[in-house]
C-alpha cells in the first residue's frame, strides 16, 4: 500500500521493527494473513499468506518475481496444488501453495524467498498481456 518496490533496494534507512516481547508473541501467532488484490502492484509473499483462489496466488507469485527480475518455472500447476521454482539452475527459490482443507482459499505452505541467481533478462512471464495490464 503506497510503497515503491524498487526504490529501497540497497538503502540502509529501512525501518526495522523490534522483536516482540513475550506478551506480544501470543497475540498474532495463529492469525494467518489474507492477500489483498490491491497489493498486486507490489506483492509481499510470506508463509501462511492466504489467497482467494489459485489464479490470484499464481498472479501474485509471478508479479513479485517480475519485479525482482526473476524467471519462474511452475513445476506443478493444478487447481489445488502449485509448486513454483526459479528457472535458474541451482537457485534455491521455491514456493509451494495448496488449497486449505474445508475452505475455498489457497495458502502458501512452504516458502524459500531467497534467490541465489542473477537477474534474468529474458522472462517468460513478461508478455504483452502483462505489459498492457501493468501500464493501463
Tens of pLDDT, residues 58-110: 989 988 888 888 888 889 988 889 999 988 888 999 999 999 988 888 999 99
pLDDT given for residue 20 in this prediction: 52
pLDDT given for residue 14 in this prediction: 53
pTM above 0.75, yes or no: no
Distance (Å, whole) CA 136 – CA 101: 37
Question: Given pLDDT bands bounded at 50, 70 and 90, which one contains residue 6?
Answer: low
Helices (H), 37-109: 54-68
Instruction: Say if CB 67 and CB 5 are below 8 A apart.
Output: yes
Share of the chain above pLDDT 70, in %: 75
Question: Given pLDDT bands bounded at 50, 70 and 90, which one contains residue 1?
Answer: very low
Q: Where are the domains of the chain?
A: 32-135
Radius of gyration of the chain from Cα atoms?
16
Distance (Å, whole) CA 32 – CA 103: 13
Q: Is the pLDDT of residue 15 over 60?
A: no
Distance (Å, whole) CA 50 – CA 22: 26
pLDDT given for residue 83 in this prediction: 93
Share of the chain above pLDDT 90, in %: 16
Amino acid at each position: 500500500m503506497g510503497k515503491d518496490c524498487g526504490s529501497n533496494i540497497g538503502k540502509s534507512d529501512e525501518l526495522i521493527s523490534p522483536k516482540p516481547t513475550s506478551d506480544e508473541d501470543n497475540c498474532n501467532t495463529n492469525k494467518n494473513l489474507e492477500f489483498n488484490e490491491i497489493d498486486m502492484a507490489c506483492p509481499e509473499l510470506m508463509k501462511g499468506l492466504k489467497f482467494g483462489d489459485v489464479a490470484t496466488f499464481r498472479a501474485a507469485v509471478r508479479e513479485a518475481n517480475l519485479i525482482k527480475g526473476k524467471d519462474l518455472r511452475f513445476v506443478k500447476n493444478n487447481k489445488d496444488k502449485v509448486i513454483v521454482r526459479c528457472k535458474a539452475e541451482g537457485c534455491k527459490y521455491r514456493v509451494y501453495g495448496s488449497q486449505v482443507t474445508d475452505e475455498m482459499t489457497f495458502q502458501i505452505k512452504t516458502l524459500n524467498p531467497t534467490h541465489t541467481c542473477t537477474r534474468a533478462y529474458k522472462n517468460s512471464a513478461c508478455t504483452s498481456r502483462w505489459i498492457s495490464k501493468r501500464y493501463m
